[in-house]
Structure 1
Amino acid sequence: MIAVRHIGPPRLTAGLETPGRLDWDAHRRLHPAPRPLTCDQLVALAEAGRLHGRGGAAFPFARKVRAVADAAVRRRSRTVVVVNGTEGEPGSAKDKVLLHRVPHLILDGATLAATALGSSEIVIGVTDEESAASMNAAITERGLAARARVVRLPERFITGEGGALVRGINGKRPIPPGRKVRAASRGVDGLPTLLSNAETYAQLAVLTGLGPRRYARVGTSAEPGTVLLTVTGSARFPAVVETPAGAPLGHLLDLCGARATEGVLVGGYHGAWITGEAAIRARISRQGLREAGGTLGAGIIMPLGRRTCPLGECARVARYLAAESAGQCGPCRLGLPDIAGAFAALAEGRDAASAQETIRRATRMAAGRGACSHPDGTGRFVLSALEVFAADASRHVTHGSCGRPVLGVLPAETEARLRLEVDWSRCDGHGLCAGVLRGLVRMDEHNYPVIPEEPIPTRLEPDARRAVAACPGLALRLVPRT
C-alpha cells in the first residue's frame, strides 16, 4: 500500500500514522457519530462548507442533493445513494486508501446523505478485492447489511464514469450510456440516485463533525478544507497526501522527493501538463491549478523527471487511453486510435512534423462528440503535452529522438493476455492488419507492419483475431504474453 502523508493537521487521514485499517471502535474514538440531518439541513451544510465533488468534475454537492430530492418528490419515488470508489486511473490511490483504511468515514457521509434523503439503499462501487473486503467488514461492524451493499466492477479506466457505474450496478455492461442520463433523475434501478466519489462522502463526514466554521480554518475562502492527492510519477517517495487547499504545489513536490524540471501532470490522464516553472508557482486548489494551466481533476499529481523521454511516456498513455475506451462511438473507435498512432510516430521520430498536425486535427474532430468525456479528456492530455514538451517535439522532428529512453514512469498497463507475433517469412505487407487495428499496428516506410511489443488490450482482442484471420499470407498470430 502506498504511503500516507499529511501537511498540517490530518482530517481524512487522522489515525493513519501507523499501518492498518481503522475498525469501528478505532474510528469512533477519532470521529464521534454525526447527528442526523434533514435534506434542507444537509443542503445548507454543503453550501456553507462549499463542498464539491472530489472525483474530477467538482460538481457542487448541495446541488446534487437538491436535484435528487426534487426528482424524488416529482416522481413520488424512493432514492438511492451510490459511493463511487472505482478509481480506474492507474496513477490514483487516494480513494483506495480511504476504502481500505478508513471505510467508516466514507459510510458516515453516505449514511448522512441516505438519512437526509430517506434513501432505501446505499451502494458502494469498487473494483478490487481489498476495497470490497474492507467495506463489507465495515457494513457488518455497523449492522448496515440490510441497507448497504458492495458491488465489485471491472477495473477499467471508464468504469468510474457515472453512467458506466450505474449501468454496472444495474447488472449491465459498465460502459457510458449512448445518451446522457443524469443519475439524479434516473439511476440505480431507475430511481433518483445521489452519486458521488468516495472522498466526497468522507469530506461530508468531516464537515458535519467540524461544522462549517471549523472546517474552513484551513484552505481558502473559496475552497475551504483539505485536498487529498496521489503523488506518483517520478516522485522518489510516492504517497497519498492530505494538504490544505491553497498550499504551494512546490512544497508538496519537495515532500515527495520530486523535481518539477520537465513537466508535471495535474488532474490525471484527463488532466493537463504544466511546466515545471508553473508547478513551482501553483497553488493546490481548483482555482490555483486552473490559473497554472491545469486542473485539479481526480487529485493526481505526476511529476516527470529528466531521465525519461516525455513524448515516449505520453505515447504510452495515449495508446492506453485509446485501448481503455468503450469503443462504442466514433471519437473513441476512430479518433483515439488515430491520436495514439500519431503520438507514437512523433515519439519514434517517424514523419514527426505531420504527426503533430494529425494529433491536433483528430483531437479537434473528437472534441464534444463522444458518448462521455473520455475523448475530451484524452485530447486535453495530448494537446497539453505538445505544448509543454514542445522543445522535445522539435528534437524528435529534427533528430528522430531526444536521446532518452522510455522508462515507463507513467503507469499505462491494461489487463491483457495475448500479444501479436509476425512470421516475417510469410508477410507480404498487404497492410490489412493495420487497417483492422488502427492506432495499434502501423505500416513503416517500406509498407511492412510495425507490431507493438506490448500485449494487446483485452478490449481489442476480437479485433486482433479479425486481423489474424484477414492476413492473406497467414503471417500474423496471437501468442500468450511473456
Structure 2
Amino acid sequence: MSPLAVRQIGPPRLTKGLESARRLDWDAHRALHPDPRPLTTDRLVALCEAGSLHGRGGAGFPFARKVRATADSAVRRRKRTVVVVNGTEGEPGSAKDKALLRGAPHLVLDGAAVAATALGSLEIIVAVTDPDAAASVERAIAERELGARARVVRLPERFITGEGGALVRGINGGRPIPPGRKGRASTRGVDGLPTLLSNAETFAQLAVLAGLGPRRYRQVGLPDEPGTVLLTVTGSARFPAVVETAAGAPLAHLLDLCGGRAGEGVLVGGYHGAWLAGDVATRTEVSRAGLAAAGGALGAGIVMPLGRGTCPLGECARVAGYLAAESAGQCGPCRLGLPDIAGALAALAAGRDAAAARDTVRRATRMVVGRGACSHPDGTARFVSSALDVFAADVDRHVAEGGCGRPVRGVLPAGTDARLSLEVDWSRCDGHGLCADVLRGTVRLDEYDYPVIPSEPIPARLEADARRAVAVCPGLALRLVPRAPHEPVARADRARPDAPPPGAPGPGRP
C-alpha cells in the first residue's frame, strides 16, 4: 500500500512530528519523546494496568496479562524470552502499523525495548511484510546501535500472515500459516521460547505510556479506554488517511475529516470486523465499547465508508472471494466453507438464483463459526453476516430484480497483486467441471454444470492452480490472459453467454 497521509484529531501522541516529516530519525525522535526509564517486570505490569493498555491488533487483549503470562512461563520453564513486534499488517485496508514503522520506528522500538528490558529478553524481532517499513526499522536499529539485540524478519504479505501462530511459524523459518493446534506464544513462541507478541501500535502506545506516566496518559480518551486510537480510513473516503484521535471521538468527525460519507454502510474493524448502517455509524463513538454497542468492532482499527455509487453486495462478494483465497486451506471451514460462502455471495450479487444463494450464504456462515484452526472463518462469517443484515434492502432487491443496477467499483480493496485473468472459449467448453475442482472457491459451476469464471483477475498466489486448471481442461477451453492496465471492475461473474433459460433441460456431460 502506498503511504497514506497522517492526520490528527486533537493533540497527537503516536504521530507527533509526522505532520511535517516523513520519517523521524534518532535525533528528531528524542527531541519529541523522552527516553523511557527501565522497569522491572512487576513495575511494567503495574504500569500497563494503571494505563489500561490493551492490544491494538484486533483482539484487544489486556497487555499486562500478556506480560505476566510471558514472565511466568519463563520462570516456570527456566527459559529466556523474546519480544516480537507484529508489523505484518496483511489486510489490504490497513496502513496504521506501516505508518508507524515507516515514520516513527523509534517509538515502536522504545516500547519493545521497555518490554525486553523488563523481561530480560534475548532479542527484539520486528516482523514486517512491507519493504519500506523493513528498511526504516533496519535503519533505526543501526541508529540505536542495537546490533544483535534486534533484527527485522521479512515475511510474505498475506491476510493470515499476521495471525499469532502463523507469525511465529514464519519467524521460525516455516510456512507462515496458522498451526492446526492452538497455542500461546507466551508459552512457546519463537524458537520454543516464551514470547511477548503484539502489534506495532501496541508497543508505540507502551512507549507513550512509559514516557508520560499513567496520570498524564489518561488525560485524553475515556476512563475505561484512555489514550488515543490510530485508525486507517479508506473505502470511499476522498482523502484516505491514517488518523490519530482520542478514544471516544465521534466516528462522524473522523469521516468528515477524510471526506467520507457513511452512505448505506460503514465497515469498522476491517475484513474480520462488521458493517454498521450509515445512520448508526454517524451516532457511534470511536472506542471498543462504543463500536461493540453499535454492533461493530474496533478490531484492527480500520474504517471503510462504502458511499452510494457502488453495489454493496458486489463489493462484499469481492472481499469474500479474497478471504476464501487467503485462507491456509488446512481445515474444513477454510477449505470448503469459505469458498461456498464466496461462491453463493457472488451468485447473489449477480442475481443468479438469488433467493437460494442468499439462503446458502446464511447457512454456510453459521456452519463455519467456531470450527476453524484459527479465527479466520469466524471473522469472515462476521463480515458476511453483518453485510446481509445492514444491506438487507439491497439483498431483497437482488432477489426480486436480479440486481440493484449499480456497478461494482472496487471501493473495498481486495489485493493488488493480480496479473492474469481466466477466459473461456465457450465453443470448446463441454462442462467437465475439472476447473472448478482445481480452483474451488474461485471457479464455480452453474446449475447446468458449466463454469462461472470470476470477472476479477486471478491473485498471484493462485496462478499455479490456475495454470493447472488450464492444463487439465479436456476441451482446451480455458486460457490465462494478461490483465489490462487499469482494467475496470466488472459488475458480475462471466457466465456462459448461451446458458439455457430457467426450466430448460441442461446439456449432459460427454
Matched to 2:320, the amino acid is: A
Where does residue 399 of structure 2 map in the other structure? 397
Where does residue 409 of structure 1 map in the other structure? 411
Q: Is 2:309 the counterpart of 1:307?
A: yes
Q: Is the 8 A contact 1:341 1:438 kept in 2?
A: no
Matched to 1:436, the amino acid is: V
Q: Is the 8 A contact 1:85 1:99 kept in 2?
A: yes
Matched to 2:326, the amino acid is: E
Where does residue 38 of structure 1 map in the other structure? 40
- Correspondence 1:258-297 to 2 at 5 A: 258-297=260-299
1:277 is displaced (CA, Å) by 1.2
Q: Is the 8 A contact 1:85 1:96 kept in 2?
A: yes
1:207 is displaced (CA, Å) by 0.4
CA–CA distance in 2 between the matches of 1:477 and 1:237?
A: 39
Matched to 1:327, the amino acid is: G
Where does residue 75 of structure 2 map in the other structure? 73
Where does residue 138 of structure 1 map in the other structure? 140
Instruction: Name the TM-score, length of structure 2 as normaliser.
Output: 0.93
Matched to 2:36, the amino acid is: P
1:434 is displaced (CA, Å) by 2.1
Q: Is the 8 A contact 2:177 2:328 kept in 1?
A: yes
Where does residue 339 of structure 1 map in the other structure? 341
Where does residue 52 of structure 1 map in the other structure? 54
* TM-aligned CA distance change 1:414 to 1:358, over 3 Å: farther
CA–CA distance in 2 between the matches of 1:249 and 1:266?
A: 10
Where does residue 13 of structure 1 map in the other structure? 15
Where does residue 387 of structure 1 map in the other structure? 389
CA–CA distance in 2 between the matches of 1:465 and 1:404?
A: 33
Where does residue 250 of structure 1 map in the other structure? 252
Q: Is the 8 A contact 2:325 2:441 kept in 1?
A: no
1:28 is displaced (CA, Å) by 0.3
Matched to 2:42, the amino acid is: D
The superposition leaves residues 396-422 of structure 1 with CA deviations (integer Å, 9 ceiling, x where unpaired) of 111111111111100002533433222
**Residue 174 of structure 2: SS of its match in structure 1?**
coil
Moved more, 355-364 or 169-178: 355-364
1:351 to 332, 350, 353: 353
- Correspondence 1:420-435 to 2 at 5 A: 420-435=422-437
Q: Is the 8 A contact 1:320 1:414 kept in 2?
A: no
Moved more, 219-228 or 460-469: 460-469
CA–CA distance in 1 between the matches of 2:447 and 2:187?
A: 53
The superposition leaves residues 248-306 of structure 1 with CA deviations (integer Å, 9 ceiling, x where unpaired) of 11111111111112100000000000111111111110000000100000000000101
- Correspondence 1:320-339 to 2 at 5 A: 320-339=322-341
Percent sequence identity over aligned pairs? 80
Where does residue 204 of structure 2 map in the other structure? 202
Q: Is 2:98 the counterpart of 1:96?
A: yes
Q: Is 2:66 the counterpart of 1:64?
A: yes
**Residue 147 of structure 2: SS of its match in structure 1?**
coil
Q: Is the 8 A contact 2:170 2:176 kept in 1?
A: yes
Where does residue 508 of structure 2 map in the other structure? none
Where does residue 487 of structure 2 map in the other structure? none
CA–CA distance in 1 between the matches of 2:221 and 2:364?
A: 39
CA–CA distance in 2 between the matches of 1:55 and 1:297?
A: 7
1:385 is displaced (CA, Å) by 0.1
Q: Is the 8 A contact 1:414 1:458 kept in 2?
A: no
Where does residue 506 of structure 2 map in the other structure? none
CA–CA distance in 2 between the matches of 1:252 and 1:475?
A: 50
1:375 is displaced (CA, Å) by 0.5
Where does residue 27 of structure 1 map in the other structure? 29
Q: Is the 8 A contact 1:32 1:209 kept in 2?
A: yes
Report how many residues are paired: 482
**Residue 347 of structure 2: SS of its match in structure 1?**
helix
The superposition leaves residues 233-252 of structure 1 with CA deviations (integer Å, 9 ceiling, x where unpaired) of 11111111111111111111
Matched to 2:359, the amino acid is: E
1:381 is displaced (CA, Å) by 0.2
Instruction: Name the TM-score, length of structure 1 as normaliser.
Output: 0.98
1:171 is displaced (CA, Å) by 0.6
The superposition leaves residues 185-226 of structure 1 with CA deviations (integer Å, 9 ceiling, x where unpaired) of 010011000000000000000001111111111111110000
Where does residue 120 of structure 1 map in the other structure? 122
Matched to 1:55, the amino acid is: G
CA–CA distance in 2 between the matches of 1:383 and 1:227?
A: 27
CA–CA distance in 1 between the matches of 2:459 and 2:309?
A: 27
1:344 is displaced (CA, Å) by 0.3
The superposition leaves residues 83-140 of structure 1 with CA deviations (integer Å, 9 ceiling, x where unpaired) of 0000011011110110000000000000000000000100000001100100000000
**Residue 281 of structure 1: SS of its match in structure 2?**
coil
Matched to 1:84, the amino acid is: N
Where does residue 468 of structure 1 map in the other structure? 470
Where does residue 420 of structure 2 map in the other structure? 418
CA–CA distance in 1 between the matches of 2:347 and 2:441?
A: 10
The superposition leaves residues 419-470 of structure 1 with CA deviations (integer Å, 9 ceiling, x where unpaired) of 3222222111222222332221123455432212322223433433343333
CA–CA distance in 2 between the matches of 1:458 and 1:328?
A: 19
Matched to 2:434, the amino acid is: L
Matched to 1:105, the amino acid is: L
Matched to 1:412, the amino acid is: A
CA–CA distance in 2 between the matches of 1:264 and 1:287?
A: 17
CA–CA distance in 2 between the matches of 1:375 and 1:336?
A: 7
The superposition leaves residues 300-338 of structure 1 with CA deviations (integer Å, 9 ceiling, x where unpaired) of 000010111111110100011011111111111111110
**Residue 119 of structure 1: SS of its match in structure 2?**
coil
**Residue 272 of structure 2: SS of its match in structure 1?**
coil
